[in-house]
Amino acid sequence: MSGLDTTCVTQIGILVNDIEKVRQAYSEIFQIEEPEIIETGPIEEAETNYRGKPSEARSKLCFFNFGQVQIELIQPDQHPSTWREYLDEHGEGVHHIAFVINGMKEKVMYLEGKGIPLVQEGEYDGGRYSYMDSTDNLKVLLELLENDEVS
């Protein structure tokens, strides 16, 4: 296998307007505990870059473990981001599917070579992400996640 070197989906990202409310619904319907709500870092930490420009955008997030896959709820703020853009255009619903990869730079280049542009990137505690705008091709965005090796 080459390309992304993986076909294992690890997250389904869902945009919501009210994360507390939707978290409660998942918890009640699937009878599982409510996970903690976290917030993506401020620009100094997250180094969020959206469509080639630094952005102060942040999101509230929470993660439900559904087997191999996490359901990630995302409530974005009003600053420019792929989250805010997609939510304004499409309403609440699935935004992306995520894959854990190694070698972010080459994987981003690989997808760009397939006509799938980088739309947003940033850092999180222990790794980094890139959103690739594959909606024209795959009808859903891809998120690439690269986790630092823990020694």
Question: How many whole angstroms separate alpha carbon 125 and alpha carbon 103?
Answer: 17
**Nearer residue to a copy of itself within complex by CB, 17 or 126:** 17
Q: Is residue 125 involved in binding a copy of itself (CB under 8 A)?
A: no
Least spacing, CB of residue 95 vs a copy of itself, in Å: 9
Q: Is 72 helix (H, G, I), strand (E, B) or coil?
A: strand
Task: Name residues whose C-beta falls within 8 Å of residue 16's C-beta, 6 or more positions apart in sequence.
Answer: 22, 73, 74, 75, 92
**H or E segment to which residue 124 belongs:** strand 118-124
Shortest reach from residue 102's CB to a copy of itself, in Å: 16
Taking CB under 8 A as the rule, does residue 103 contact a copy of itself? no
How many chain residues bind a copy of itself (CB under 8 A)? 41
In the numeric block, which tokens belong to residue 116? 């799938």
94 binds a copy of itself (CB under 8 A): yes
Among the listed residues 83, 90, 133, 148, the single contact to a copy of itself using CB under 8 A: 90
Query: What is 21-59 written as a DSSP string?
Result: HHHHHHHHHHT-PPPPPEEPPPHHHH--EETTEE----E
- Using rule CB under 8 A, residue 61 touches a copy of itself: no
The footprint of a copy of itself (CB under 8 A) covers: 1-4, 7-9, 12, 14-16, 22, 25-26, 28-32, 64-69, 71, 90-94, 97, 111, 114, 116, 134-135, 137-140
